[in-house]
Amino acid sequence: PRIAVIVVAAGSGTRLGQEAPKAFVGIDGHTILRHALRGVFEAPEAQIVVVAPSGREGEALTEAREAAGDRAGQVSVVTGGATRQQSVAAGLRELWPSVEVVLVHDAARALTPPDVFARVIDAVDRTGWGVVPGLPVVDTIKRVDGQQVVEAVDRSELTAAQTPQGFRRDVLETAYAVASEEFTDDAALVAAAGHRVAVVQGDALAFKITTPADLDRARHLAVPVPP
Ligand code: C5P
């Protein structure tokens, strides 16, 4: 395939307060990872690289093969690193020669609809830029200095960045090769390397499962994985 999706699932999920690493926490009868992979496999055809926590690679492969059905040949699992950035770097080392566009997706955004993937791929193809799905910020955001509110930030200038974030492969690989610090997301890493990044419409369902309240919300909103 011309597209690859790196699904980072190697986080511990400390803030979720569950025993298992976050990707293996159940939403219904199925895990966060399994739900995330359903969206990935409903999106355009791609090589899928799942980045799993050390010791959980076998389980991740089982879930990925289940989600893949007759596309199991397009799936591989690698071991993640200590940070999200290291986990993405591990995924990048697995890409097949045919891949030209890479999407990086948080497994924790388990309910992301397939059309978000399609929008991101389309925008990368049209612009050659990095692409992030974004949503308008609904809260009033204040800049603070300790306890003191300094000013309100103009919301119209803000977007809340989600995943999947998409890049031309050469751009993403070069940006990772020169990155010398930790960035909060792949778009920031790519921008620091001097590349432009565009925003496309995100989706409320692409929220990241981080806290127990997020998990409750996912449990209410999840559509069962088909058998
Ligand atoms: O911790 P947070 O929810 O921000 O992590 C975002 C995504 O990055 C999650 O899907 C998580 O599994 C992944 N991650 C990773 N390796 C790490 C840390 C986070 O793959 N070391």
What pLDDT is attached to residue 1?
Answer: 95
Per DSSP, the three-state class of 222 is: coil
Q: Sketch out the chain's domains with CATH numbers.
A: 3-221 (3.90.550.10)
CA dihedral 46, 47, 50, 51 (to 10 degrees): -120
> With a 6 A CB cut-off, is 172 part of the ligand 1 pocket?
no
> With a 6 A CB cut-off, is 51 part of the ligand 1 pocket?
yes
**In terms of residues, how long is the chain?**
227
Q: Whose CA is nearest to atom 20 of ligand 1?
A: 10
Mean pLDDT of the chain: 96
- pLDDT tens per residue, range 23-72: 999 999 999 999 999 999 999 999 999 999 999 999 999 999 999 999 99
What pLDDT is attached to residue 227?
Answer: 81
Find the 150 Cα to ligand 1 centroid distance in Å.
Answer: 32
Helix and strand counts by DSSP (H, E) for the chain: 7, 10
What pLDDT is attached to residue 109?
Answer: 98
d(CA 41, CA 44): 7
Q: Point out the ligand 1 atom lying closest to the alpha carbon of residue 15.
A: 1
d(CA 177, CA 82): 17
Find the 148 Cα to ligand 1 centroid distance in Å.
Answer: 32
Instruction: Profile the chain (227 residues) by mean pLDDT over runs of 10 residues.
Output: 98 91 96 97 95 97 96 96 98 98 98 98 98 95 96 94 98 97 97 98 98 97 90
> With a 6 A CB cut-off, is 7 part of the ligand 1 pocket?
no
